[in-house]
């Protein structure tokens, strides 16, 4: 069976070369009994590939079972996989066969295999190497003939380095690796998938089908889709149900796309003593913004106090917002202890306590609002590039999707 026939049979949408390559590997390895490890991000559709392998194998008439290893409690997973004897633990009122015993002669798909406890990993390794296992509470060795296909969205080499996954088990499972590409690497498939989902939901809910404007289509294509195909399907369903106007604009699409968190931020530097601590780029950005807000608030208080003639206690640390040396209006250096005019930036001067403002002197009141500054920068960028938002977004160092959102937020015409 060729790749296109497999796509039709298993409902796979897409023309990406990477996707076709993954399907081709599954097609070639299926007739063998080799173990297969499928890797890829959550939501990419990894669960389809074990079905393809089982369907094209000599075990197609045998049983097939998919087990989500992350959904089974640690205390019962050995019993679920390998079975148990009556009385082997509290609540074991009768003997029970495990999945490896039930699926004898067939294929077992172990999803989220990296979530297996250490002791269960040892049992699984023995099954892969010898085909032997023992029920929980039994000393009798049993044989099974099972094809194992595993999948994970975890970086297993990293898990091995941290001692969370056995290296020998990894090499037994990873006899043939298959990587499923994320949706952001299959940009040509985004609109195809959207259209398929839109048709399905229009038929399911008996309503008109969605139609994307060209700008909205480009917006969907450029989005990173951290949730991959699953997220795209959810967004399409929400649009189908909640939007009465089926002609979808980019502004409408933006309402259903969560903000991207740090996808284009520079790499964070971590202190050597805190290598094991994990924190998000979004947290760091929030901290920087809060610190800026705090500094601006303090600056406003200082200016207000100076204008009213009150005494101001200047901070005595290296992060002082004022220069260590004061300046006069003629920019001549003066000792810091003498009354002077402090210049924080061109055009803005601050007089210390006791300094009187002459009638001919002008005090500049400049806005310190971050939102106003941001709005002004966006307007300048759009004017500079004559309304071309893509070039404006590039100039500002943000994504086009973020620029759309900011334009709506600030009501920029």
Q: State the span(s) of the chain assigned CATH 1.10.8.60.
A: 184-254
Element at 147 (helix H, strand E): strand 147-152
Write out the residue limits of the CATH 3.40.50.300 domain(s) in the chain. 3-181
Q: How far apart are CA 266 and CA 268, in angstroms?
A: 6
CATH T-level topology, domain 371-410: Arc Repressor Mutant, subunit A (1.10.10)
Per-residue tokens: 284:
């760091």
Whole-angstrom Cα distance, residue 243 to residue 256? 11
Range(s) of the chain covered by CATH 1.10.10: 371-410
CA 135 to chain centroid, in Å, comes to 40
Give alpha helix (H) positions in 68-212. Answer: 77-82, 99-102, 118-130, 156-161, 167-173, 187-205
**Which of 157, 125, 167 has the alpha carbon at shortest distance from 35?**
125
CA atoms within 13 A on the CB side of 27: 14
pTM (2 d.p.): 0.63
The CATH class of the 3-181 domain is alpha beta
| Structural contact between residues 69 and 115, judged by C-beta atoms closer than 8 angstroms | yes
- 3-state SS class at 411: coil
Structure-token pair, residue 35? 């173990």
**pLDDT reported for residue 192:** 95
At 369 the pLDDT is 66
pLDDT at 311: 52
User: In tens digits, what is the pLDDT along the chain, a chain of 413 residues?
Assistant: 899 999 999 999 999 999 999 999 999 999 999 999 999 999 999 999 999 999 999 999 999 999 999 999 988 999 999 999 998 888 888 999 999 999 999 999 999 999 999 999 999 999 999 999 999 999 999 999 999 999 999 999 999 999 999 999 999 999 999 999 999 999 999 999 999 999 999 999 999 999 999 999 999 999 999 999 999 999 999 999 999 999 999 999 999 998 765 444 443 333 333 444 444 556 666 667 777 877 788 787 777 777 776 554 555 444 444 444 443 444 444 444 444 444 444 444 444 444 444 444 444 455 556 777 788 888 888 888 888 888 888 888 888 888 888 888 888 87
Closest by Cα among 22, 82, 26, 34 to 52: 26
Cβ partners under 8 Å of residue 287, min gap 6: none
pLDDT at residue number 281: 58
**For the domain 184-254, what is the CATH code?**
1.10.8.60
């Amino acid at each position: 069976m060729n790749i296109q026939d497999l796509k039709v049979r298993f409902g796979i949408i897409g023309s990406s070369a990477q996707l076709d390559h993954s399907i081709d590997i599954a097609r070639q390895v299926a007739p063998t009994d080799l173990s297969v490890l499928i890797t890829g991000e959550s939501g990419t559709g990894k669960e389809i590939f074990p079905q393809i392998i089982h369907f094209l194998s000599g075990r197609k008439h045998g049983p097939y079972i998919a087990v989500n290893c992350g959904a089974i409690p640690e205390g019962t997973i050995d019993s679920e996989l390998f079975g148990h004897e009556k009385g082997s633990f509290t609540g074991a009122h009768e003997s029970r066969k495990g999945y490896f015993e039930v699926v004898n002669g067939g294929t077992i798909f172990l999803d989220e295999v990296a979530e297996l406890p250490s002791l269960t990993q040892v049992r699984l390794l023995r099954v892969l190497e010898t085909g032997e296992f023992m029920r929980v509470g039994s000393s009798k060795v049993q044989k099974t003939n099972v094809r194992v296909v595993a999948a994970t969205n975890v970086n297993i080499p990293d898990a091995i380095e941290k001692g969370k996954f056995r290296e020998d088990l990894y090499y037994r499972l990873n006899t043939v690796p298959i990587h499923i590409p994320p949706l952001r690497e299959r940009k040509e498939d985004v609109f195809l998938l959207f259209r398929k989902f839109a048709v399905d939901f229009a038929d399911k809910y008996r309503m008109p089908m969605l139609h994307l404007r060209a700008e909205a289509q480009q917006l969907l294509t450029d989005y990173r889709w951290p949730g991959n195909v699953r997220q795209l399907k959810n967004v399409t369903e929400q649009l189908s149900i909640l939007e009465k106007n089926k002609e979808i604009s980019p502004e409408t699409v933006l309402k259903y796309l969560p903000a991207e968190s740090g996808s284009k931020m520079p790499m964070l530097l971590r202190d050597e003593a805190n290598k094991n601590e994990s924190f998000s780029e979004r947290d760091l950005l929030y901290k920087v913004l809060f610190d800026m807000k705090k500094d601006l608030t303090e600056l406003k208080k200082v200016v207000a106090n100076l204008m009213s003639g009150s005494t101001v206690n200047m901070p005595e640390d290296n992060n002082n917002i004022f220069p260590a040396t004061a300046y006069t209006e003629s920019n001549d250096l003066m000792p810091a202890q003498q009354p002077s005019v402090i210049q924080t930036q061109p055009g803005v001067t601050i007089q210390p306590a006791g300094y009187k403002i002459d009638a001919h002197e002008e005090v500049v009141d400049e806005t310190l609002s971050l939102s106003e500054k941001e709005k002004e920068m966006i307007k300048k960028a759009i004017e500079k590039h004559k309304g071309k938002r893509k070039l404006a977004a590039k100039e500002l160092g943000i994504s086009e999707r973020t620029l759309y959102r900011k334009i709506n937020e600030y009501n920029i015409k």
